[in-house]
Amino acid sequence: MTCLRSIYSTVRNVSYEIVVVDNASTDGSVEMLKKDFKQVTLIENPQNTGFSCANNKGIRHARGSYILLLNSDIFLKDSAIDNLMQFIKDYPEAAAVGPKVLNKDGTLQSCGFCFPSVLLALIELFRIPKLISILTLRRLFPKYYWTDSTSRKVNWISGCCMLLRRDKLDKIGFLSEDFFMYYEDLEWCLRSWKLGFEIWYCACAEVLHYNSSAPLSNRTEVTRISAKIFYKKTNSVLKGFIITFIHMLFILTRLLALYMRSGTAQEVLSTSGHLKDEASFLKFLVK
């Protein structure tokens, strides 16, 4: 397993244990772990219980003062975990720290995120990022746009690689098992901020995220359900409604632009599909 090998080859200054929670995989992962990684603590779920439940099982078995949530499709670049550990120790109010997450081709995937925002949706609707330079955009809207080269506090980080401080986790609580997959990291970080803790993006730690986790035949539906759970759980259904409506307007303007410039049938069909998805979610959200 590439992820495990990257741990053993890159972590030098941190003592650690590895707990693997297998969500009823069928690709031979369990057999490989038992054969090649006997030092790893393996927890086998008889069925796929989802991201939150599986991670919470791992957290309960972990004994350290810091806990790293790590997807199996992550590859650690040199000193990533060492740097994350040093960073979180330097920022005692940090409940969690996340690295720079790169796509497999080395392009940026994420450097932290902001919470869902009506203003951000409006900025995108009016295509402001296309009208001004990135430097101006960062000066005008530093809450929503920042450089990946500088560490900073952010609203939330991806659960694909998230280093948690246990004493803060004990106060915040585990990942919500209301979510099967998606939005659980966002909701946990929101709880952290509400309790006065911080979430940080660490620019000096880099990982590759291959996005090769087990496929979901109903991924769109799972995402939609999780989004609805998030907005209801955080008492922000109205915000979710407004943001989704603005997204629909944005997609509609793209669709009109395609018609005006005689876009290809594939472009029109794809954009129409996105518009239909947003409309379906809007209807689903208010049920």
CA distance 65 to 165: 6
pTM (two decimals): 0.93
Q: What angle do CA 166, 202, 136 make, to 5 degrees?
A: 135
What class has domain 2-111+146-209? alpha beta
End-to-end CA distance of the chain: 43
pLDDT value at residue 265:
84
Q: Is the pLDDT of residue 215 over 80?
A: no
1 has a pLDDT exceeding 80: no
Q: Where are the domains of the chain?
A: 2-111+146-209, 219-285
Q: How far apart are CA 131 and CA 40, in angstroms?
A: 51
Report whether pLDDT(217) > 70.
no
**Token output for 125:** 């609707």
* Residue 35 CB partners (closer than 8 Å, separation 6+): none
Give exposure, 75-87, as e/b (b: 16+ Cβ within 10 Å): bbbebbbbbbbbb
**Is the pLDDT reported for residue 214 higher than 60?**
no
Res 182 pLDDT > 60: yes
77-102 pLDDT, tens per residue? 999 999 999 999 999 999 999 999 99
Q: Does residue 258 contact residue 267 with C-beta atoms inside 8 Å?
A: yes
Q: What is the rounded CA–CA span in Å between residue 97 and residue 88?
A: 6
Contact criterion met (CB below 8 Å) for 75 and 145 = no
Instruction: Compute the distance between CA of residue 154 and CA of residue 19 in angstroms, rounded to an integer.
Output: 28
